[in-house]
Structure 1
């Protein structure tokens, strides 16, 4: 039985229609692709102008005849209550609701209409087939975190079962835990690994130190897919040598879906079917292929919430070999996370703080930006920008989440600031360790 497809259908995501639509788009000839993209861009703008008061006010609509005049949406622009940003044709029950990780320091809640969400999944399924991975049949070793509250944990584990995913909890990557990981690989026929880059790199280092090649213990392994964090070339070599399978780069974001996926020729093929990707300079000018700038994304099918010329917070470059139908992401800068090391020897990937930020994200839009800095082996500082000072109740909620997801008996301090320090590229790094 196609369990993954069934799970989408049970949740009212029209995956069959999405797959058919994807096939139709992929069959469009290159010479007709510019017209397809122009039609979809104009259509999604017209829809939100008609049905979304937030976007109508944001755009200050008076008609336009040039795509370059469409305003850029920053993450900070979307830090308003979701009810103010939803299209009038959708509500929180008829749309898919999600939260960004806050890895850029700008957390917010978003919505996607069910067809747009299904189309994102159709894109993932299409790319995974490049490597003989079938989401309905292939068993995944999933190196992600998991909610630790009772209901969130049960819900996520149920989704894992239905989706043929077996969770490897990355909240603790001590040697003892990774020994337990090995036992699971010895006794299961995993087809692929999928997870946060930093967690898989740590596991690869553990394997190297033990002199183990994972595929020799688990011959069914085909590939390893890394996501959410930048993969350096040396780390890629380490993973491939330790796992014994190719490493594939996946670039995506929860609010827009799949952005780019690496093919067998080491080219990051950009998703041009349901997204429109641009590279802009600091003055919002569109850059030609080969020049580095800000990655700006338009979701061509999301009618529930406008994601139009959305600045995702990354810097990248499209290859000169790109075409409208087949853009190639030559370079991506951003999403590099440090690792937190704790007094008890526990090693925690920086993206563990994704689960801490869930407690910070409020639909009130109070928290505008935040970063977490490890200053000592047992000390962390949370710097934030907000309209109002965090209350003691809010601070206690964050402290409780850190105790649950990161570790106990840690010294946490809060500092409200007017502005947060950024990297030279303008990137705001959510987690930084100052330990040597």
Structure 2
């Protein structure tokens, strides 16, 4: 049963309409596709200049006939309540609202109109089909985080059920837990693994130590999709060897959906169906194919919220083989997270920090940036940028989250700053450990 399609339809997302639209886009000739991209760029800019007060003010010098006059939008520009950024006719009740992980250092609430959200999922479905995977029917082994408060926890579990997936927690990556994971793989017909590159690599290294090939344990496995963090080539080889299946690189973000996905020819294809991707230098000049720079993306369909020339904070390179209609991502930098080692001997993926910090991120206007550092195996510091100090209640909430997601007895201090030190890529790394492994 296509439960995922049904769940989208019941929530008011026009999935069938979106699939038909995607089919039309994919059926365009190379020449027509190029014109389609240019037309959609102009259309979405015009729309937000007319219908979005925030964007009209932000891009008050924009000339729709001169692409270089369109200003680059950053997460810092969006650091204000979501209602201030919505287009006319859209509210938090009639569109899809979500939050980013804050992995770039800037947590952000955002919205998508319902058609845009449906089109995003249509594209995911299409790309998974490249590898004989069906989001509706292929059972997924998901190595991902999960909120621990009851309401959010059961909401995620329901989403997992509707999406035909089982979630393996990345909060505990100890050998004892990973052995239990292997047992589960022997009992169920998972078709693919999906999750944080860091967590998948920890699992693969455990399998290597135990001389286990996962495909031998779970014959139904077809593929592994690594996402959210940079997957280094040496780690990819370990994954392919220990899982016994092809490893596919996925690149996406909550605000925009699928940005790039590897095909069967090992090309990391940029999604040019509903996105327009550019590589810019530090002065916002467009770089030629083959040169590394800032990844800046325009969402061609999101009418609820502008993401026009939106700077993700990532650094990457488009291959010299790229064209307007077939851009190829050659490299991606700046999406790595450290591994957490704890006093009890427990190991957890660094992305766990997303769930810790999310406990206090209710709106982007409260906490603008954050970073968590581990100085000793039991000692952490939260550095943050905010208009006012965290209250004692908020600090206790974070400490409680560390107890719940990691383990009790950890020491944590707080440091409010005017700004956080940024890496060369322009990112604030969300978690840094100075503890030697």
TM-score normalized with structure 1 length: 0.98
Alignment of 1:3-22 (within 5 A): 3-22=3-22
CA deviation map 1:366-417 (0-9, x unaligned) = 3221111100000111111122121212212222222211221100011112
Structure 2 residue matching 1:315: 3-state secondary structure:
strand
Residue in structure 1 matched with residue 423 of structure 2 by the alignment: 423
Instruction: Summarize the Cα distance change of 1:148–1:277 in structure 2 as closer, same or farther, 3 Å threshold.
Output: same
Structure 1 stretch displaced more, 202-211 or 355-364: 355-364
5+ long unaligned stretches in structure 1: none
Residue in structure 2 matched with residue 283 of structure 1 by the alignment: 283
Separation in 1, partners of 2:18, 2:424: 41
Residue in structure 1 matched with residue 195 of structure 2 by the alignment: 195
Residue in structure 1 matched with residue 65 of structure 2 by the alignment: 65
Separation in 1, partners of 2:101, 2:62: 35
Query: Would the aligned equivalents of 2:172 and 2:348 in 1 still touch at CA under 8 Å?
Result: yes
Structure 2 residue matching 1:181: 3-state secondary structure:
helix
Offset at 1:176? 1.1
Residue in structure 1 matched with residue 341 of structure 2 by the alignment: 341
Query: Would the aligned equivalents of 2:361 and 2:367 in 1 still touch at CA under 8 Å?
Result: yes
Alignment of 1:360-379 (within 5 A): 360-363=360-363, 365-379=365-379
Residue in structure 1 matched with residue 91 of structure 2 by the alignment: 91
Residue in structure 2 matched with residue 320 of structure 1 by the alignment: 320
Structure 2 residue matching 1:168: 3-state secondary structure:
strand
Residue in structure 2 matched with residue 263 of structure 1 by the alignment: 263
Structure 1 stretch displaced more, 45-54 or 288-297: 45-54
CA deviation map 1:32-77 (0-9, x unaligned) = 2222111111111111111111111111156442011001001111
Query: Would the aligned equivalents of 1:294 and 1:311 in 2 still touch at CA under 8 Å?
Result: yes
Structure 1 residue matching 2:372: 3-state secondary structure:
strand
Offset at 1:283? 0.3
Coordinate RMSD, CA, aligned: 1.1
Structure 1 residue matching 2:130: 3-state secondary structure:
helix
Query: Would the aligned equivalents of 1:30 and 1:324 in 2 still touch at CA under 8 Å?
Result: no
Separation in 2, partners of 1:360, 1:317: 35
Separation in 1, partners of 2:367, 2:244: 44
Structure 1 residue matching 2:293: 3-state secondary structure:
strand
Query: Would the aligned equivalents of 1:269 and 1:326 in 2 still touch at CA under 8 Å?
Result: yes
Query: Would the aligned equivalents of 2:63 and 2:70 in 1 still touch at CA under 8 Å?
Result: no
Structure 2 residue matching 1:105: 3-state secondary structure:
coil
CA deviation map 1:276-327 (0-9, x unaligned) = 0000000000111111100000000000000000000000011111111110
Separation in 1, partners of 2:88, 2:391: 33
CA deviation map 1:334-379 (0-9, x unaligned) = 1100011000111111101111121232325132211111000001
Alignment of 1:140-155 (within 5 A): 140-155=140-155
Runs (4+) off by over 4 Å: none
Equivalenced residues, count: 436
Separation in 2, partners of 1:290, 1:260: 16
Query: Would the aligned equivalents of 2:62 and 2:70 in 1 still touch at CA under 8 Å?
Result: no
Alignment of 1:122-133 (within 5 A): 122-133=122-133
Separation in 1, partners of 2:62, 2:73: 18
Structure 1 stretch displaced more, 247-256 or 1-10: 1-10
Residue in structure 1 matched with residue 25 of structure 2 by the alignment: 25
5+ long unaligned stretches in structure 2: none
Separation in 2, partners of 1:306, 1:5: 26
Alignment of 1:283-302 (within 5 A): 283-302=283-302
Separation in 1, partners of 2:412, 2:104: 21
Residue in structure 2 matched with residue 411 of structure 1 by the alignment: 411
Alignment of 1:99-118 (within 5 A): 99-118=99-118
Instruction: Summarize the Cα distance change of 1:208–1:101 in structure 2 as closer, same or farther, 3 Å threshold.
Output: same
Separation in 2, partners of 1:289, 1:176: 47
Query: Would the aligned equivalents of 1:49 and 1:61 in 2 still touch at CA under 8 Å?
Result: no
Separation in 2, partners of 1:219, 1:404: 35
Offset at 1:422? 1.7
Residue in structure 2 matched with residue 382 of structure 1 by the alignment: 382
CA deviation map 1:250-278 (0-9, x unaligned) = 00000000000011122110000000000
Separation in 2, partners of 1:64, 1:186: 57
CA deviation map 1:103-137 (0-9, x unaligned) = 01100100000110111111110010111001111
Separation in 2, partners of 1:62, 1:69: 5
Structure 2 residue matching 1:251: 3-state secondary structure:
strand
Instruction: Summarize the Cα distance change of 1:62–1:110 in structure 2 as closer, same or farther, 3 Å threshold.
Output: closer
Separation in 2, partners of 1:384, 1:97: 24
TM-score normalized with structure 2 length: 0.98
Residue in structure 1 matched with residue 395 of structure 2 by the alignment: 395
Alignment of 1:230-249 (within 5 A): 230-249=230-249
